[in-house]
Amino acid sequence: MEIASATYIEEKLKAPVPVESCRFHFPLLRRQVNGKPLVYFDNAATSQKPQVVIDAIMRYYHEENSNIHRGVHYLSTKATEAYEEARLKVQRFINARSIEEVIYVRGTTEAINLVATTYGRKNVSEGDEVLISAMEHHSNIVPWQMLCEERKATMHIIPMNDAGELLLDEYEQLLGERTKIVCLAHISNALGTINPIKRMIAAAHAKGIPVLIDGAQAMPHMRVDMQDLDCDFYAFSSHKMFGPTGVGVLYGKKELLNAMPPYQGGGDMIKSVTFEKTTYNDLPYKFEAGTPNIEGAIGLGAAIDYMKGMDLTAVAAYEHELLTYAAAKLLEIPGLRIIGTAKEKASVISFVLEGIHPHDIGTILDYEGIAIRTGHHCAQPVMQRFGVPATARASFAFYNTKEEVDVLVKAIYKVKEVLG
């Protein structure tokens, strides 16, 4: 299977490698499910892991396992070096100004909660406003609801049109004197919409308002540059971008992070402790209390090494080609409706099938070896906006193929035959 738009460039070879070769790097993609070759279209929930990531985690436990930072022995030194080297890889990959701006967290959800709890409590007061969009994941809604309830502030919502695109004129009108922070998804997990966040960040900054971006769905699909975007906070998860679960990153501008109080108390986030007073550690450690997910950070570093071997422009072009092909094929199916038809979309297709519940679609597709996601996708307000209780969602990565899309389409016809 030769794909013209090659997506991976091996460091050693320095030559394009077709998609089929990329797939070979992901051992799980070679397995069968229910006697059928696995078709993995649940990448928006989590991505599969290349062998280099699996090997990095195995190597850590085989050769370096030890706690970091405080030990003077050989293993602790090696583990600390690997952990901090991964942080440096993150900093360079997202073009943050320094490693002090890279905070390890458990994932996007914890990153947003950290900002809501620390920056929010310090800067949001009674009568103030927090601005989010109508297409946010619950993780970018609930922490701000909790903050607004605690601080007696108000949460306003940027509306979207029937295609799933934010209404930018209304957004700019909502930016007011009492707006203390804007919180936006870079890419909608439920619709696939790519929001024009650079423009939206600039509009907020013009009024002195900081912006947090939920980048969980963007990181696996495009190059993200913190200095170019000029966002104040950017949150993402390792497991969406081919790394392990349980680790993620909060990027924050150094001046903002320095002014924020710690998120949690404990070891590693302090310089000194007496019963009378604690002196907090410098960035980034001020926000990293307790023993962290060491192997997770090292695995994230390996995932970044893998992604750096890819031509991300070619990845985006290939995934767009796959998305366009899949949308056209799916729309040929009678009774199928795609939810979210924005002009700028990433590799997500949410759809409903007339008269058939999404859970039933997912169940029958699973019999065919196809993994998709069904439900509200942690975006219940999006479902309410489009008048559906749930959708079926197929989400793609660069290792998926048009042949797999054809398998999906054929299986949906089978769903209609069984349940229609």
What is the chain's mean pLDDT, rounded? Answer: 94
**pLDDT value for 368:** 98
**What phi and psi, each to the nearest 5 degrees, are found at residue 233?**
-140, 145
**Is a pLDDT exceeding 60 seen at residue 3?**
no
Average pLDDT in the 137-158 region? 98
Of 14 and 218, the one with more pLDDT: 218
Task: Residue 78: count other Cβ atoms within 10 Å of its Cβ.
Answer: 17
> What average pLDDT does this structure show over 211-231?
97
Mean pLDDT value across residues 199-228: 97
- Say what the pLDDT of residue 261 is: 97
Read off the pLDDT of each residue in 69-97 and give the average, rounded to a whole number. Answer: 96
Active-site annotation holder among 22, 148, 231, 378: 378
Q: How far apart are CA 217 and CA 363, in angstroms?
A: 25
pLDDT tens across 368-400, in order?
Answer: 999 999 999 999 999 999 999 999 999 999 999
- Among 265, 217, 246, residue whose Cα is nearest residue 379: 217
CB-CB contact of 158 with 167 (8 Å): yes
Check if the beta carbon of residue 174 is closer than 8 Å to that of residue 131.
yes
Which residues are CB-neighbours of 337 under 8 A, at least 6 positions away? 351, 352, 353, 354
- Residue 18's pLDDT is 62
- pLDDT on residue 23: 92
Question: 1 pLDDT exceeds 60?
Answer: no
Is 148 an active-site residue?
no
pTM of the model: 0.95
| Runs of H (alpha helix) within 73-141 | 74-94, 108-115, 121-123
Amino acid code (one letter) for 69: H
Where does the pLDDT of residue 311 fall: very low under 50, low under 70, confident under 90, or very high at 90 and above?
confident
Mean pLDDT over residues 214-224, rounded? Answer: 96
Q: Could you tell me if residue 163 is left (phi over 0), alpha (psi between -120 and 50 degrees) or otherwise beta? A: alpha
Give residue-wise pLDDT tens across range 6-20.
344 444 443 445 676
- The string of pLDDT tens digits covering residues 174-184 is 999 999 999 99
pLDDT-based confidence at residue 5 (cuts at 50, 70, 90): very low
Which tokens is 356 given?
A: 């058939």
pLDDT tens by residue, 23-56: 999 999 999 999 999 999 999 999 999 999 999 9
Q: What is the pLDDT of residues 278-303, one digit of tens each?
A: 999 999 999 999 999 999 999 999 99
> 11, exposed or middle or buried, with CB in 10 Å at 0-12, 13-18, 19+?
exposed
Q: Which two tokens stand for residue 52?
A: 């280099």
Containing 374, the helix (H) or strand (E) segment is strand 373-375
Residue 17 pLDDT:
52
CA dihedral 350, 219, 398, 28 (to 10 degrees): -90
In angstroms, the CA 104 to CA 132 distance is: 24
Which pLDDT does position 207 carry in this prediction?
Answer: 98
Which residues, other chains included, contact 90 with Cβ-Cβ below 8 Å and sequence gap of 6+?
96, 102, 249, 300, 301, 304
Share of the chain above pLDDT 70, in %: 95
Q: Is pLDDT at 141 greater than 60 in this prediction?
A: yes
Please answer whether residues 103 and 252 qualify as being in contact, where contact means their C-beta atoms are separated by less than 8 angstroms.
yes
Side-chain-side CA neighbours of 275 within 13 Å: the count stands at 0
In the prediction, which pLDDT does 312 show?
Answer: 86
Q: Report the alpha-carbon angle 215-164-39, nearest 5.
A: 65
What is the pLDDT confidence band of residue 337, given thresholds at 50, 70 and 90? very high
CA distance 250 to 101: 8
Query: What's the rounded Cα separation, in Å, for the pair 210 and 256?
Result: 10
